[in-house]
Structure 1
Amino acid sequence: MCEQCTRRTFLGTGVAGGGLLLSGTAWAYAWTSDTPPKPKQKARICVIFTGKPGPEDRGWNTDPKQAEAMRNRLDKAEKDLGNIELVIGESNSAEQTAALLNQAGPGVPVLAINMTCFALTRVARPILDGKHPLAVFSLPASGHDWMYPHRWQRQGNPVTLLPSSDYNELERALRLLRVIPLMQQTRILLFPPARGTVPARSPEEIKKRFGAEVVAVAEKTFDEAISAVDQKEVEAEAARWTEGAKAIMEPTKEDITKAARISIALQKLVEQEQAQGLAIGTCMGWLSKGFPCLGFARLRDRGVPAACEGDMDSLLTMVLLQHAIDRPGFQGNATFDTARNVLWTAHCTAPLKMDGPHGEIAPYLLRGHSEVGGSGCVPEVHYRLGQIVTRTKLINLDTILVSTGKIIEVPEKSVRACRTQIVTEVRDAAKMAVNWSKDIDIEDAMTLLHRVVFYGDHVDSIYHLARLMGLKVIEEG
């Protein structure tokens, strides 16, 4: 909803004493100049094998071969993921569980693997009493304990269950569990103002809910960073974008150079501040110095979520899913065509590597921004036809909106709306349109419009993550 950015009047909004006043409420931002980054650590996860394996030919239990296979898969996941540290042990009693938790540390998430009948229920009490986020992996016929995790979750505990014969689910469990400690170390840079739902605009509420830190960047500080960018790096970035494009439409060489300079400056800012996310609330005022749209794409392709229009709900959505699935999101506006049962998503910035940092680069055009007379330089990305996608957004810091769709159309050259566009077939477009954003209680158009699109069907993982983090899930459509 970029039009609002160009016509903001900031009624009821002012800046005083380094804090931003929103609707009469003061949010006091900490600034990067006063808040140095903290050292990052690997996400520690406690893995507990509950009970001992039994014979291969009888009983409700795992066997030694299965136990070895699971340990090998855990070792591989720890190596492949790179940012987790596993504390692995066996427990046959509540006392042994407590000792393992003490070794791992307070609040550390737990992956429990049930090895024999009723071992989990016998040893789990210290995990539940300590409110440790708990994912339970249960092989078929490994015991009857699989019945209890969701009962514990319904009693208010952060618990989820993965009952499966697929050992790859062990890695998925670790990915989901690591989100919690990684969020506690997350540093988000914000060019004020923040926008979105009221809780998501509050650094204090974000810190309280997820442990993440939001620090503001002064425009003057960034202007100095822009001036300091090496011209050779700018030329290389401009060449990378121009040489990779299918075509260059409206942008001039000057437009591309300005955007490339901003792209490099944003990358250096994120590296210097050791940040895991970025939101810019003043993006539509950047035309004179260069739009950040190429820079957003560069950051997302490198695993750093970046949100335009200061949309903190969308940014936090991208951060959560980046930690969980290592994929970037496409943040965009929605519009419906019920005659075709489709939902569009469109925006003027979009990542090229929707499969992740090691994935394919999507084809793209270089275009002028659609809402400022075609000026500037932004990517128009042509996403994969037939691709299943998840469309989602965290709102109010406590609820995740989610739906799925399939990309059935991508324009060769967009007209109207924003530059990057996907048309997705959905379950029930008419129902989605009727209920769109009914759970968002403010009238800001951008907040109502935006969703974030990810390649793949991640609805099940979002439900698991919600159980672990105490979030509500609402399926749209």
Structure 2
Amino acid sequence: MHCNRRQFLGAGAATGIALAAGHLADNHLAMGSDASNAPSSATSKVRICAVIAGKPGDRSWALSEAEVASVMKRLAEAETNLGNVEFVIGRASNAEETAQLLTQAGPEAPVLAVSADIFGLSQGVMPTIFQQGRPAAVFHIPVIGGHDWCLVNPWREEGHRITLFDSTDYNELERAAALLRVIPLLRQSRVLVSPPLKGTPESYAPDQVKKRLGVEFVQIADGRYDEVLANVDAAAAKAEAQRWLDGAECTVEPAREDVVKAATASLTLDQLIAENRADGLCVGTCMGWLSRGFPCLGFSRLNDRGIPAACDGDMDCLLTMLIFQHALNRAGFLGNAAGVDTAKNAFHLSHCSAPLRMEGPAGPAAPYLLRRHAEVRGGAVTEVHYRIGQQVTFTKLVHLDTLLMFTGKIIEVPKVPKDTERGCRTEIVAEVDDADKLLANWGGGALGASAKDYYASLHRVAYYGDHTRSIRNLAHLMGLKVVEEG
């Protein structure tokens, strides 16, 4: 369906009203919390060793058997909810029992240690885990979980990959497991790449990425994209195009043929992902593909399905998106940082390949228009209207050793009139805590010489929800630094 300028502006106004209404709906804004309760895009289950550390009993500084039963019940629920996690659960109060349990779980299993009595962690359990170099999350219930929670920071300062979930909320067990699974899932992950790749230099060095994260690079063979594109079934491409046309609130500039060509490119990417058994995609040649069909719709569709896809060859962002897909089961919006507005205390992020399903593959799709590409002024891309009032986290992994982050709240989603352009096609404006601080601390000193590289410096990935706590926990588990930019 096409629309004239008046219909287009009317659709934009209606969307604005709907988004404003969403701002008032607490149940919508509650989504995007720090916890994850759905499977990531991984192809197989990973094991997590769950250790009830110490001896529960009827003592003042220990979990009772009833409380241990509550832990076990919640772990069973987490295993079901997460879908790709298998717990190997046992009790251990000394080095020998711990070693036996770790052997049963297997050499790749990270550890979720539940502190069950006053010195349950320190007397044999954690030293054995550290000796094997395993990342560990500690779940401690105040008072009854004992004293060893205060050793977590010193243990981490000694170089051990350990983080603490100190809470009476048993749901934190699931959040801990969701983050622990990231490490073994990354070791299973393959990303399909088409150079030139960009970002901080370490991110596109295959040997360094394999050593640091375990992720394998697979390069698209020369000529393979063209070969697959030429053999896409025409009827399938038309059907995919129709899905985009039917789902759009309005088709503004693109002709139907533009959408069909973009859909053909999308199906080409699907085929390449399938035949290479890839878990992610990073394309540095996308601008060269535009005349044969814009791949932007394909990037959007892949991200919606839980397969991170990054354009501009940005491997920093692709690895960021892969990590958080495994952790949160959510797509991220990769965009150009378009500036910090000190007058509005706001940050702008803009790009042309925005995902629709920011709350996971089973979540709702954001409303969108089909537009021409803002820079090339042709083809077919989405202009996605994200939810006004939604809290968001902006982040990026740089140099394979640091996670940048800051948070905001979407206060505006600009709707650009027909036949006019404004940056890239989808834009969000997010109110931040302190625009002056964000502007002065952009990159947080972590980029080094890469601060002068546009892609390393400009790009960030936005996620629905406040994930700052999970980012810090994940950094502890992966041995990363965290820099809060804003």
Normalised TM-score (structure 2) = 0.88
Question: 273, 292, 300: which one pairs with 1:289?
Answer: 292
Q: Is the 8 A contact 2:203 2:315 kept in 1?
A: yes
**Does residue 363 of structure 1 match 2:363?**
no
Q: Deviations over 1:278-334 (max 9, x none)?
A: 000011111111111000010000000000000000000000000000000000011
1:337 equivalenced with 2:344 (yes/no): no
Which residue matches 2:194? Answer: 191
In the alignment, does 2:463 pair up with 1:447?
no
Counterpart position of 2:257: 254
**Is 2:439 aligned against 1:433?**
yes
RMSD: 1.3
SS in 1 for 2:409: strand
* % identical equivalent positions: 53
Q: Report the Cα offset of residue 107 of structure 1.
A: 4.2
- The AA in structure 1 aligned to 2:284 is G
Q: Is the 8 A contact 1:107 1:131 kept in 2?
A: no
How much has 1:86 moved relative to structure 2? 1.3
Aligned residue pairs total 436
Aligned to 1:420: 426
The partner residue of 2:138 within 136, 152, 159 is: 136
Secondary structure at 2:254 match in 1? coil
2:465 counterpart of 1:462? no
Deviation at 1:106, TM superposition (A): 2.0
Written as runs of structure 1 = structure 2, the 5 A alignment for 1:4-403 is 41-55=44-58, 59-122=60-123, 123-141=125-143, 142-334=145-337, 335-372=339-376, 374-403=377-406
- Indicate the SS of the match to 1:288: helix
What is the CA–CA distance in structure 1 between the aligned matches of 2:231 and 2:92, rounded to whole Å?
56
Q: TM-score, normalised by structure 1?
A: 0.90
The runs of 5 or more residues in structure 2 that have no matched partner are 1-41
Amino acid paired to 1:126: T
| Distance of 1:233 and 1:453 partners within structure 2 | 32
Does the 8 Å contact 2:416/2:422 carry over to 1? Answer: no
Q: Distance in 2 between matches of 1:439 and 1:67?
A: 42
Cα distance, 1:352 vs structure 2: 0.2
CA distance in 2, matches of 1:354, 1:301: 7
Moved over 4 A (4+): none
Quick check: 219-228 or 274-283, which moved more? 219-228
- Distance (Å, rounded) in 1 between the aligned partners of 2:260 and 2:108: 48
TM superposition shift of 1:434: 2.2
**Relative contact order (alpha carbons < 8 A, sep ≥ 6): 1 or 2 greater?**
2
Partners of 1:435 and 1:404 in 2: how far apart? 14
Paired with 2:324 and 2:437, the residues of 1 have a C-alpha distance of 26
Moved more, 217-226 or 279-288: 217-226
Q: Tell me, in whole angstroms, the C-alpha distance in 2 between the residues paired with 1:40 and 1:263.
A: 22
CA shift digits 1:91-111 (9 cap, x unpaired):
021110011111222242100
Q: Which amino acid aligns with 2:392?
A: V
Amino acid at match of 1:165: T
The superposition leaves residues 198-245 of structure 1 with CA deviations (integer Å, 9 ceiling, x where unpaired) of 101101110010010011102411111112222222111101100111
Residues 185, 471 of structure 1: CA spacing in aligned structure 2 closer, same or farther, 3 A cutoff?
same
Structure 1 alignment gaps of length 5 or more: 1-38
Structure 2 CA distance for aligned equivalents of residues 317 and 472 of structure 1: 14
